[in-house]
Structure 1
Amino acid sequence: MYVSHSRHVRAAIAAAALITAGTSVMGLGATAVANADTAIAAGPSISAPARYLEGGTLFSTIGFEALPKPESASAESATDAAASDGSATGAFAALSAFVTDSAAETEPATESAAEPAAEPAPEPAPAPPAGVTPEDLARIVPGIAAEKIAAYIAPLNEAMARSGIDNPVRQAAFIAQLAVESDSFRTFEEYASGRAYEGRADLGNTQPGDGERYKGRGAIQITGRHNYEKVSEYTGVDFIAHPELLAAPENAFTTAAWYWTSRNLNQVADTAGIVRVSELVNGGHHALSRRIADFQRGLDVLIRP
């Protein structure tokens, strides 16, 4: 702890004042007792007790001609008053002022609490994956009627966005399969009667009439009782009781996207390629050359618009 020279001086002055005041009190008491004893023995010829230092002569006695110039108006004025007073009360006041002022000088100032740092602005939400435009769809699937493009482009893009079909390879593969299965978006119901599927246990057709009842419908031709049950659970629409609803445009793309994701065809498109995607959609190589051609056309349009 650093204390300035003037602080030492004031401390010495205050201490000297206190000692002087205390000595005066004790000296006067001792003198009074001695004088009383002497008066009894010698009578009135005894001289007055020795004169003790008064407050006014204190500075010259300890070697200072005057009180050093104060640095702090509050503590120094109290020290000056105590020194000139010379009393015990003044000395204690001087010491109190000195200690208080010294503590104020030596104690470090309390730093104000740091304000909390402002939180960084949240990152902007990523833009939704870009879909295909009506012009894109017309170029990928030549011959599709303009009114059908206008009616189908929104549900197509919504289905792809919900199902992670979000890059050109996946989108081209998805549209190529839909184009073949729906005859270039001309129909969402299989042309054949479905009688060929009667009794197909692998499709879940275990009851009489299931073949025709649950023939291929939707943009990707969902087929068989088993698939109709699963897609009903997924959408909440009872396609078992009302299989014809699966061919409605508002359901055709949703159910196609369900079939796509249930077979993990995004990963297959990314890694195995269009032939394997076609096998998992169709069960074989039906119209494989057209599926490949539509896929390649889709890549050309979506990668190099």
Structure 2
Amino acid sequence: MTNHDEAAAVRPLTLAWVSRHLEAGERIVKTEALHGGITAEIRRLTIATRAGSTRDLVLRTFVNVAHAEDGLNREADALTLLRGTGVPAPGLVAVDPTAAHCAYPSLLRTHLAGRTVLDDEGLETRVPLLARQLVAIHALQPAVRPRRYVTLTTADTVVTPKGADATAWAAAIDVIRKPPPPYEGRFLHRDFQPGNVLFDVPPSKPADARITGVIDWAATSWGPADLDVAHCSTNLALLHGPAWGLRFSEAYEEAGGVLAATANERLYWQVRDGLACSEEVQQVAKTWREAGRPELTTRTVEERLNAYVTALMDALA
């Protein structure tokens, strides 16, 4: 077996566990570290088959991550539920949520074709595709609902960026001091954003781009559609500029999605997600730089977050 790089090396206990879940006569011949994960180490494993061909699997390993067991159990449950629904999710191969067999809690899944696309070019084509895919996810009616959504910030933990519009941020923080508005529950991905969506983009015809997969279902939960929409909106705003964050909710409705009835109710979820991002700007920016966007410095992302939160509050005025 060869490693693509040192970071791709799979720990011996985990390697043995993976091998026990392969077909007879199969063996791992290559491992490659994949970028993009914040909470997990992600590796692509190339498997040689008895017939002489190869296939790929993906290994997600949670190292020193609190609540890894809960996240892996939820992801395994989600992947099982999603089988046969038409949502292009990976297939579950095996999971070891408590590290009973692996060096760390791990999940093994099938590999999906396609790649994440974080570039500005072609965004006008991809945003409607993202919206339609999210509407399809929210339409799922599982026999057993996942746990209720959890919020990722409080009014007291928000980190106001340096140089931010203090008035707008103070008003935004006041918004999330209020109780959440009533909502109709939906099946949520809870981390639906461009970094967790795979695309096939033909080089000669980028307008023919299509989604080939949605990954990272560890935060699956039950809650308002607005929360998933708000999360994707925030990520689009930070990756591509505030206007794209504001555009996504429109695209979601154009695709047939239903959001909260009033502007104030929608604002609550939009602001809550934007403010939650304030606590992890540095890590998010680092992940995007590693994924091929070197111009997205922490300062640049902070400025875009400020502009987006300010635009949300201005829209209500």
More helix by share: 1
Q: Same fold (TM over 0.5)?
A: no
State the TM-score, normalizing by the size of structure 1.
Answer: 0.23
Q: Which has the larger radius of gyration?
A: 1
